[in-house]
Structure 1
Amino acid sequence: MSSTDNEVMYDVILVGYGPVSEILAVMLARLGHSVAVFERWTERFPLPRAVCIDHEIYRVLSAIGLRDELPAVSHPAPPYRWFNAEWKELLSIDWSAESISGGTDVNFVHQPTMEAMFDKAARRYKEIDINLGWDVVEVRQTDAYAELVAREVDTEKVRTVRGRYLIGADGANSLVRAAIGSSQEDRGFEADWLVIDLLPNEGVTLDIPPAAQYCNPARPTTIVPAGIRDGRYYRRWEFMRMPGESREDLENETMAWRLLEPWVKPDQAVIVRHKVYTFRSLIADTWRKNRLIIAGDAAHVMPPFMGQGMCAGLRDDWNLAWKLNLILTGQADGSLLDTYQIERRPHASDIIDLSMYLGKVICIPDPEAAARRDKAFFEKTVQPPPPFPSLTGGLLDRNANGEINAPAGLLSPHGTVRHKGLVGRFDDLVGLGFVLILRNAAHGTSVTPADRACLAGMNGKIVHLGDQEDGNGEEVIVDLDKKFTPFMDGHGIVAMLVRPDFYIYGGATAPSEISGLIERLAIDLGKYGFKRAGESNNKAEEGSEARL
């Protein structure tokens, strides 16, 4: 039996229902867009994979309404320390440090508990149609819509469903990626690791490093938190498969306890999961073909040593959500999605490089090579790790030569502020969207009525920093955490124009440059058919269909 749901045209269809799909559905639904989700499995995968989120993703999740729920499923990270076989420190990454987004740089999470929170959030929206137990067997597209064919696992019933766009968040073996015709670049990292998650017994305190890589060539080992559930803290060990060992040998529970023996005994904890995973480094060449798009593991797979796999997928979501919103509301045409891969692929590629750098530090089974590595770290002759990436392409302010004007592409600061008599986080009080932040009230005189009308047409806002709320309280923010003032002074700017995804479009080094900055954003958006508020009509989306 088959049917075509052609009486319904969803705004977006999502294939897969992992965390990337759950959160993208919430992002779109909260903006009023209809979303259909199709997932083969009827029950959520019960075991952890990802164990942490960084400050940027914590800010994003908070901004879409999950701020109050996050503390129950996450906890601040300790410093992340790397040791050689003699437990001498090689490298330290201070994940406990205060971040530009406010709070610690990294938070550890228990993924199944977090996903349950995501699912609960998704089910609050009538705009989201969740179809579990439906196996997507084909995806295709026309100039006017994307379409999938799904078969119900239990009944063999077949449905055909249409949407304006279809996004594959369907994992490393993505059907949607195959439909796009995208190949994958193999960046050359591959290693098998036994992953063990365990729950210490009540009252047991383990004498272990809080978060560490034990770079012992006899057995490279990872020891990190694995999140919190019902007030109890999980722990994770990862052990590299050594030459001559089989995957089957490692997946034996007796072997798992033998490997854990230096740190934990069977009477101290319960093993929740032990399984061998292959860590790889892959990135898709093509992330979008007209109305078909990929995100998350469908677009990129990376070693876990920076804890960025899920974070990268949620960044894909955040980049797509605000652009799809402009397209679906008729304010821009489909070509705006051309900037998705331009912005996200280099960023994900750089994180893969950073993860591979760290992976190559620990994944050394040869004692002589490990000794050379140790010597280079101790003598400080080792090549330093790549910096954490910013945006390097896409919708960013540029000079006449096409070069990006600093600080365009950087993540904007965030913190606690006072605004309109209230104290809270900047995003909560000022709101989301384009925001022009001025260094002080005096610079507001450089923003002309035409500038204000231009920003209002983008649904943008203007605020300025001040020591206290004054007569212009509609626009002043008091920087209680001292995040914004040092950032702007450090970059020598009097204004910064922030995009809806919290990345800086551009900055002005003098008041006289502010009008030009606003105008350049309007021009750049205009390249993608952007229509300012009041000018919007359905022709933008119709035009995008014609151009596809």
Structure 2
Amino acid sequence: MTEARQFDADVIVVGAGPVGLSLASMLGLHGVKTILLERGDELIDYPRAVGMDDECLRTLQGIGMAEAVLPHLTPYHWMRFVTGSGRCFASIEPRTDEFGWSRRNAFNQPLVDRVLLDGLQRFSNVEARLGSDVMRFEQDADGVTLDVKRTDGSTYSLRSRWLVGSDGGRSPIRTALNVGFGGFTDTSKWLVVDVRNDPLGVPNIYLHCDPSRPYVSVALPDSIRRFEFMIFENESEEEMTQPHSMAMLMAKVLPPGVDPNSLDYIRKRVYTHNARIADRWKVGRVMLAGDAAHIMPVWQGQGYNTGMRDAANLGWKLAYVVKGIASEKLLETYQLERPPHAKAMIDLSVTAGRIFSPRNRWVVAARDFATWALNLVPPLKRYFTEMRFKPMPKYEDGLVVRESEINAEASIGQLLCQIARKTPLARFVPAAASGKKDDSPVGKLFIQPRVRTRDGEVKLLDDVLGSGFALVCWGVDPSFWLDQRSRDVLAALGARIITAKPVVQIHRDKDIGPDAIVVGDEQMRLKEWFGSHSGAVAVIRPDRFVAGLAYPAKINELLVQVADKMGLNVKQGAA
């Protein structure tokens, strides 16, 4: 039997939620044969997640879907915390666009999911099969075999090289792997009420911290509004969705005299908040992503976005391994990189919930006083307003190359400083030299400013970088310093060299080789970024994280490390 017949797909993705749909698009862009399986005959048609951040939009941009989903978004969607007396004690209003998009956006998830599903029709190598339930699977050294049941009861088998379970918080894939899902389930419950023809019409999201009954009011696109009410221990879902109970709840949020029965309800559902994370995200040839790997309370709107970060991290790695560009070593970095940040987002969401929904009046009074006092301190107010409390992804391990790994002198110096800090000489050792404070951009998401091409177009940077690796440089073309090994590495990566200059210099070719793409630094943000860090050449991964940063004269050492950490298949060129 030929290899083509052995495998029905290179990758099978289970679960057509946003993570599965995005993964399928990423694999489609890379030419990977993919089958997406979804148990339901249709996508879920009611609103679930309501907040999309700039990182998520950047991921959608990378798969060519950002413009298609924008009509279903409300950008610059602020989150306001309000006391029981009506005082706004915290308003989260981040106006930065360092990654190219509005940092907080409301969106209509069913419509966005539909756009993502329709987007798969672009790819002849991707097939979406709805009404297909995975009954069991078995993996071996070469691939994964699945038994699938159709809605009509018939069954069939599939075989793929890799399997991704993005099949929700109750993931059958995770359960079959016997992977633990540690954490806790909150004792409180919440009633979610979605209505059409918004009866309030006010923008943004309001978290009303009323100890008598905390509730949330969220404006969504297409005149949809979401309300969420805390349900007490002695109240059941059946009881609280009855007309008299709904009238009691809605009286808190509707203008006087408005009949709750006149509202056009989309759904009413009670749910609990969970804070859980899978013990392992990769088991052999099977990986978990999205809610199958982690679930968290809704208070910071990060469940959806955290899942999309998983997709952005995993998609290109799967493609590079399937296509033989990198070894399976690259996939191991998924487990190293993603869980720590997902745990940080869970912790943030849990903390925000505790601030929002205490019912003890003394705790509420202390919170209200503390927030009133903090608002009098501008730096603290900006900390909340600009959303600086949000832990940004930073990969400490995985496909990241630290300065110490490409600079032996720096490594020895840092080691000596660390030893010195354990002696009476500690007070004389600068923190930066000892490595105590790490401001390195390595392992962080690279900025995405607007740049001007030589044709005069102004574009977001990622649209120039392409879908693969890139060397982004300020004012230089590192080609002069590249040895043959590095040229072979760049060829294997399919990497582009992007040289940013002041706009007034973009048509000058002095010291610029034929392989470099020259762009004008339209907002001068790239100059600012490189001016803040030690190095002028950044190796940018396909998910736009900084794999390493070096001076042009040290670029060869950096590229050797990148190639090694991903098990790159390098073909030797002419000496």
Mark yes or no: TM-score above 0.5.
yes
1:545 match:
none
Structure 1 position 338 matched with structure 2 position 332? yes
Partner-residue secondary structure (3-state), 1:352: helix
1:168–1:361 CA distance, 2 compared to 1 (3 A): same
Any residues of structure 2 matched to 1:233-272 within 5 Å, and which?
Answer: 233-264=223-254, 265-266=258-259, 269-272=263-266
Which string of whole-angstrom CA distances, capped at 9 and with x for unpartnered residues, describes residues 346-375 of structure 1? 111111111111111112122122112222
Per-residue deviation at 1:394? 1.3
Q: Mean Cα displacement is larger for which, 263-272 or 417-426? A: 263-272
1:470 match:
507
Equivalenced residues, count: 518
2:537 match:
495
Partner-residue secondary structure (3-state), 1:480: coil
1:271–1:408 CA distance, 2 compared to 1 (3 A): same
Structure 1 position 107 matched with structure 2 position 105? yes
1:539 match:
none
Any residues of structure 2 matched to 1:344-359 within 5 Å, and which?
Answer: 344-359=338-353
Partner-residue secondary structure (3-state), 1:13: strand
Q: 2:207 aligns with which of 213, 217, 241?
A: 213
Structure 1 position 459 matched with structure 2 position 494? yes
Structure 1 position 277 matched with structure 2 position 277? no
1:358–1:36 CA distance, 2 compared to 1 (3 A): same
Any residues of structure 2 matched to 1:195-206 within 5 Å, and which?
Answer: 195-200=192-197, 206=200
Q: 1:222 aligns with which of 213, 216, 221?
A: 216
Per-residue deviation at 1:261? 2.5
- Letter paired with 2:169: A
Give the conservation status (yes or no) of the 8 Å contact 1:6–1:161: no
Give the conservation status (yes or no) of the 8 Å contact 2:488–2:570: no
Per-residue deviation at 1:389? 3.6
1:209–1:72 CA distance, 2 compared to 1 (3 A): closer
Q: 1:179 aligns with which of 176, 181, 202?
A: 176
1:78–1:314 CA distance, 2 compared to 1 (3 A): closer
Output the CA distance in 2 between the equivalents of 1:330 and 1:534.
16
Output the CA distance in 2 between the equivalents of 1:118 and 1:281.
27
Which string of whole-angstrom CA distances, capped at 9 and with x for unpartnered residues, describes residues 116-167 of structure 1? 101101133221222222221111111111011112232x222111000011
Q: So what's the TM-score if we normalise by structure 1?
A: 0.88
1:253–1:171 CA distance, 2 compared to 1 (3 A): farther
- Letter paired with 2:293: A
Any residues of structure 2 matched to 1:97-496 within 5 Å, and which?
Answer: 97-154=95-152, 156-187=153-184, 189-200=186-197, 206=200, 208=202, 210-226=204-220, 228=221, 232-264=222-254, 265-266=258-259, 269-380=263-374, 385=389, 387-398=391-402, 399-400=404-405, 406-421=440-455, 422-441=457-476, 445-447=480-482, 451-468=486-503, 469-472=506-509, 474-496=516-538
Partner-residue secondary structure (3-state), 1:388: coil
Give the conservation status (yes or no) of the 8 Å contact 2:188–2:232: no
Output the CA distance in 1 between the equivalents of 2:132 and 2:305.
27
- Letter paired with 1:150: V
1:546 match:
none
- Letter paired with 1:137: M
Per-residue deviation at 1:420? 3.3
- Letter paired with 2:112: M
Which string of whole-angstrom CA distances, capped at 9 and with x for unpartnered residues, describes residues 42-93 of structure 1? 1221101011211011011012111321221112033212121122233222
Give the conservation status (yes or no) of the 8 Å contact 2:325–2:569: yes
Partner-residue secondary structure (3-state), 1:393: coil
- Letter paired with 1:531: N
Which string of whole-angstrom CA distances, capped at 9 and with x for unpartnered residues, describes residues 88-107 of structure 1? 23322224x12211231022
Any residues of structure 2 matched to 1:70-109 within 5 Å, and which?
Answer: 70-95=69-94, 97-109=95-107
2:29 match:
30
Q: Mean Cα displacement is larger for which, 394-403 or 492-501? A: 394-403
- Is the helix fraction higher in 1 or 2? 2
Give the conservation status (yes or no) of the 8 Å contact 2:476–2:499: yes
1:492–1:378 CA distance, 2 compared to 1 (3 A): farther
Partner-residue secondary structure (3-state), 2:270: strand
Output the CA distance in 2 between the equivalents of 1:259 and 1:434.
53
Partner-residue secondary structure (3-state), 1:280: strand
Per-residue deviation at 1:315? 1.3
1:531 match:
569
Output the CA distance in 2 between the equivalents of 1:450 and 1:512.
15
Which string of whole-angstrom CA distances, capped at 9 and with x for unpartnered residues, describes residues 507-532 of structure 1? 23x4433333223222322xxx3213
1:543 match:
none
Per-residue deviation at 1:303? 0.6
Which string of whole-angstrom CA distances, capped at 9 and with x for unpartnered residues, describes residues 422-463 of structure 1? 322212223121111112137665555654443233211111
- Letter paired with 2:265: I
Output the CA distance in 1 between the equivalents of 2:571 and 2:307.
30
Which string of whole-angstrom CA distances, capped at 9 and with x for unpartnered residues, describes residues 190-244 of structure 1? 531111111226xx6x264622211111111112223x2xxx2322111111243
Output the CA distance in 1 between the equivalents of 2:501 and 2:323.
35
- Letter paired with 1:185: G
Per-residue deviation at 1:184? 1.0
Partner-residue secondary structure (3-state), 1:305: coil
Output the CA distance in 1 between the equivalents of 2:355 and 2:439.
35
Partner-residue secondary structure (3-state), 2:223: strand
- Letter paired with 2:163: L
Output the CA distance in 2 between the equivalents of 1:120 and 1:250.
37
Output the CA distance in 1 between the equivalents of 2:57 and 2:74.
11
- Letter paired with 1:86: S
- Letter paired with 2:134: V
Q: Mean Cα displacement is larger for which, 13-22 or 122-131? A: 122-131
Q: Which runs of 5+ in 2 are unaligned?
A: 406-410, 416-434
- Letter paired with 1:532: V
The structure having more radius of gyration, on CA atoms, is: 2
Partner-residue secondary structure (3-state), 1:27: helix
Q: So what's the TM-score if we normalise by structure 2?
A: 0.84
1:544 match:
none
Q: Mean Cα displacement is larger for which, 441-450 or 234-243? A: 441-450
Output the CA distance in 2 between the equivalents of 1:444 and 1:7.
43
Output the CA distance in 2 between the equivalents of 1:210 and 1:282.
28
Give the conservation status (yes or no) of the 8 Å contact 2:445–2:544: yes
Give the conservation status (yes or no) of the 8 Å contact 1:168–1:294: yes
Give the conservation status (yes or no) of the 8 Å contact 2:14–2:36: yes
Output the CA distance in 1 between the equivalents of 2:243 and 2:554.
65
